[in-house]
Amino acid sequence: MGAPYTARCACGSVTATIRGEPVGVRQCWCRQCQQISAGGATTNAMFRVADIELNGELATHGYLADSGNTLTQSFCPTCGTAVMGRSSARPHLRTLRFGFLDEGHGLAPTAAIWLDEAPPWATIDPALERFDRQPPAPPS
Ligand SMILES: [Zn+2]
Ligand SMILES: [Zn+2]
């Protein structure tokens, strides 16, 4: 396992190749991630912008998050697959959704964040580092 990683949306209109290791892999339970994921957490790998080669058109939605950062979420405009997010606090990183990454990548989350907003039925792997809200930024 390891870089390069490849990614593809459900319809194939958006693809990516990532030539570098993620700086962090997290599960996020914030309300907006529940909306993206249809009710659960999102699972995400944060990669450096310089390592990502993205092909295809994206639809985007930006908003002011509870963290105080402006988040911009990207989707395939044809099939709706969640592709990635970017935060105004971390312009050098993109948060790629596990559902966009091709299978066999071998990555797994090490932390669960925004547990304050998780539904009561959520099951959190006890092996994960836990954060009730936004954790400190990963190293650049
Ligand atoms: Zn698509
Ligand atoms: Zn989230």
Please name each of the domains of the chain with its CATH number.
5-130 (2.170.150.70)
Rg of the chain taking only CA atoms, in angstroms: 14
pLDDT of residue 66: 78
Mean of pLDDT values over 15-26: 97
Taking only the tens place, the pLDDT of each residue in 60-93 is 999 998 778 899 999 999 999 999 999 999 999 9
Closest CA to 28 of 63, 58, 67: 67
Residue 7 in contact with residue 107, Cβ under 8 Å?
no
Q: What gap in Å lies between CA 37 and CA 3, rounded to an integer?
A: 25
Q: Is the confidence at residue 41, as pLDDT, over 90?
A: yes
CA of 56 to the centre of ligand 1 (A): 9
Closest ligand to residue 82's CA: 1
Distances (CA, A) of 99 to 68, 88, 95, 136, 137: 26, 23, 12, 24, 23
User: What integer pLDDT is reported at residue 65 of this predicted model?
Assistant: 84
